[in-house]
Structure formats: structure tokens, C-alpha cells
Chains A and B, each alone.
Chain A
Amino acid sequence: MMEKMIFGRYVPMDSVIHRMDPRSKLLLVFLFVCIVFLANNLLTYILLGLFTLLMLGMSKIPFRFLYAGLKPVVFLVIFTLILHLFLTKEGELLFKLGWIEIYEEGLRQGIFISLRFFYLILMTSLLTLTTTPIEITDGLETLLNPMKKIKFPVHEMALMMSISLRFIPTLMQETDKIMKAQMARGVEFSSGPIKDRLKAIVPLLIPLFVSSFKRAEELAIAMEARGYRGGEGRTKYRQLVWTYIDTIILTFMAILTILLILFRT
């Protein structure tokens, strides 16, 4: 449980994708989400599929982790596939059995749309499976840096984000402690009528708020004592390094985009 709180879905491993710069991974996934909608015929879907498989292969993520992300939607995808099969009545009639009629266009649409859906889920999961949330935050901060020109507080946002990531496990522990303390006094959290269970949350939340403000005060003093003066000229503990791998993979992505634009009908 605790592990899950700190790293989200991150699967620690050593692979090309894990070593990629979070910036290029963010760009990659963002572009991919955009270009997935360009595909509209067999060739373009195969190209996208090959790219997705290549990325998944390079990430070395075991299949069960990917499946865990797909599981909630598999049913939905099958449902939409069936809807398309039976409801789209265009193109040639392929199959007829009593009242069941399957048309060419329905089959095509159904399969393409399910594929597109799988590609989207797999690629977005790939980002969260191979990158820790703190790396994503760092990546976003540097990517959004140009926004500083229009007075958008990029550094402050990233700081708040990292603090909140850092304190999720701590506050979870605290919640657990308060819960046990209240249980020792006879509060029931997991049984009884809903109304009572809701009321039981109140003596949990109030100490949590008060203690988190105490922590905030202490952290503010500590940061001041160490000379925190905002983002200007601040150095970093985790440096982002752009390597040749990032350039190669983004070039691949660019080629894929061009191919998609050329081959789409």
C-alpha cells in the first residue's frame, strides 16, 4: 500500500525507456495522443501498432502490468466492437445468419476503433509505468519554463506539486495513526450504518488538518533558514539529461507522424 502511494504505478526496471529523459517521454506521449486520431486506414493503423509494440518491447515492462491497466476497459472495448458490428450498416454484406447481419464497414470501424483505444491506453500507461511521479513533475517544470514569460508561476507550481507528492506517504501514515488512536477509543470506521461511518471521518480530518499546518509552518521555517528564495538561480538535486536515445526516439516519432500524414486517406 505504502509503495503504491509513493511511486504510483511505476515499475522499477532498467530499460531504454526507463532511462529516457522525462521531458522527451512527456513530449512523446503528448504527440502520440494527437497523432493517433490521424490514422484512418489499415496501413496507418499497422504503423501505429508497430510503433506501440516497439515502445512496449523496449520498456521491458512485463505484460501483467500492462494488463492491469487494460482490464477495466476490455469489457467496454468489446461492447463497442459489438455495437459497431451490428449497428453500422454500410459497405458490403459479409455475413448473414437469421437477423444478424454484419457489414464490411461495421467490422472495419469496430476493429479500428478498438485498436485506437488500446494504443492510447498502452502509450499513456507506458509513461506512468516507466517514470516516477517526481520525474514527471521535473519534466513538466522544464517543459513549461517558457510560460514564465507570461508570468505563469511554473516554479511555484512544480514546488507545490513535489511537496504534495513528498507528503502523501507521510500524511497517509498520519491518517493511519489517528485512525488507530480513534479505534482504540471505540470508533468504528468499517462497520455500522453509513451515517455513523461518515461522522467517524470528522475526528480523523480535524487532527489531520491541524497537524499538516504545523508541518507546513516548520517546513517554511526550515526552507527560509536554508535560504530558499524562489526559483531564480536555484540548482537541482535531480538533473535532467537529454541523451542521444531521446533524440533517436523523438526522430522516430517525427517520421511516424510524417508517414501517417502521407498515407492517411
Chain B
Amino acid sequence: MEKDLILEVRNLTVKLENEIILENLNFEVKEGDVLTILGPNGAGKTVLLKTLLGLLPYEGRIKWKKNVKIGYVPQRLPFIKEIPLSVKEFFKLKEVSEEKIQKVLFSIGVKDLNILKKKIGDLSSGQFQRMLIAFALVDEPQVLLFDEPTAGIDIGAEETIYTFLEKLREEKNLTILLVTHDLSIVYKFASNCLCLNKKMLCFGKPEKITPQTLAKLYGGKIKIYKHRHLT
């Protein structure tokens, strides 16, 4: 493993119930990189994140840097709203101090600490998404695996979340692996991009992703809005 690599993946194949979900992936991630994972529904993006987390069986090699601490933002948590749980108690499930909870809330731009008393089930989807990110970050991981929800957060909130992730990356050298559907995010924040549809269709700098690659990835149904988000 090279020195500044935090993750190295070689010949990774994942079969679930004898169906090949991911086939022969090869890529690596450097410390402080933002790797975006693009692909259509059913491409195996969530499976890839879960495999990297050690939650699923696989063939091949996944090598994380020694003693690396990983935070995970799942796509959704369907059962959480069935439990009467305040935001504070949600964080406490991770057995972290109140100081750390406040710190992480400030850092994601939540200034009103009354949110801690709110019931998780009463949060708006944007607020809930932020709490999931804060939950992943509260014990200060070096790597964040972020499975973006297909729908939910409005663009405004999304912008700030990614601006915030970018800030974290700069300040703490946080490495981010991000499943996303928003190409503008890929072009703005990503150091590298992995195009996935069971097989790896591309891996490299976002600038190198051509409309042809994307057409191949999404079967020609994609509308590219790379130039709409000018900042």
C-alpha cells in the first residue's frame, strides 16, 4: 500500500445469493480525497459502501489504512421514526459527550440547540439528513462514507451540506466517499469519480468524465447540467 493511500481495492467482486452485484472493481483513495460514486439505480452503489464497511461478504481485497475510523451516513433509516427518540438521545446511542454533540452541531451550521430536545420523527427531511451526517461525524472519523438519499433534501440545504463537507475536508483532512446523483457535486467537489454499473465503467478525475461515459453509464437517459451551477 502506498503511503498516502487510505483505501486500496483490488479485484473486488460481491455476490449476493449467487447473483453478481459488483464485478472486479479496482480503485484507490488517497487521504483527503473526495471520491464520488456515480451510477444508475441498482448499480450496486450502496452495496459497494456496505462492502467497504465490512457489512457484506466479498472476494478480492479491501485494504483500509491501519486503525482507520469510519463514519457512515446510510441512505435512509426507515425504522427510526417508530421509536420515540430525541435528537440528543440519538447521539447518545454512540456514547459521546455532550460537548462533542454541540461541537458537531455547530460545525454543520445548527446554532439552535433546542433541536436536541426534538423528537427525531418530528424533524423535516432536511434536518433529519443533517442529523444523520452529524451522527456519522460526532466521534470524529477520518473517513466518511455518505450514501446520499435519492430524494429528500432541498437544493438549498444540499448546497450547504456539501460546502460544509468541503470545509471539513480542508480543515481535518477528512476523506469522503460519496454516493451521489448530482453531477454538479461531482464537478465541484470531487477529486475522483467512480462510475459504477456492476462493473467499473470509469475511474479518474471528474474532468475526464465525458458525456459518452455518462451515456454509457445511464443508458443515454441523462441530462447533463454541469454548467448550470456556476459559482
A and B part of one assembly: no
**Which A residues are closer than 8 A to B by beta carbons?**
none
